[in-house]
Amino acid sequence: MKTREELNRLSGEIVDAAMEVHREFVPGLLERVYESALQRELSLRGISSRRQVQTEVFYKGETLDEDAYRIDLLVDECVVVEIKTVSEIFPIHEAQLHTYMRLAKKNLGLLINFNVILLRDGIKRRVIHFP
């Protein structure tokens, strides 16, 4: 389990890597292209990540669906990254990130919308706490 400081540093690295990808490609590509490029950029920085991570859905101790949801990127096994290429981030996008975080039992998530002029305007950072 990472400390708060380690998670803050890691999320900063992810955002920095996303900014590099955004500078290279600018808006207009498909989500999966940004996803691949971000994974490559993270790898070049020595940060591990997995793409399209299956997230199981449980109900009262039973698996309902093993393949219902896929996390775009799971970085260093502790940060959920949801990538978008939309004109605007809506509450449903934030709810989607929250759901992935809850299902994967991860405290930190980033919602990154590459379809913006300035990437900083397309990034939402979320923290949730588990009992």
pLDDT tens-place string over residues 82-98: 999 999 999 999 999 99
| Mean pLDDT computed over 6-23 | 97
The mean-pLDDT minimum among 15-19, 65-69, 82-86 falls in 65-69
Nearest to 74 by CA among 55, 51, 93: 51
Q: What is the pLDDT at residue 64?
A: 82
Q: What is the pLDDT at residue 63?
A: 83
Q: What is the pLDDT at residue 68?
A: 77
Domains and CATH numbers, the chain: 4-127 (3.40.1350)
> 12: alpha, beta or left, given left = phi > 0 and alpha = psi -120 to 50?
alpha
Q: What is the pLDDT at residue 49?
A: 98
| Mean pLDDT computed over 62-73 | 85
CA atoms of 44 and 122, how far apart (whole Å): 23
User: Beta-strand (E) ranges in the chain?
Assistant: 49-59, 62-75, 79-84, 108-113, 123-127
Q: What is the pLDDT at residue 1?
A: 78
Q: For the segment 98-126, what is each residue's pLDDT rounded down to a tens digit? A: 999 999 999 999 999 999 999 999 999 99
List the structure tokens of 22: 């955004």
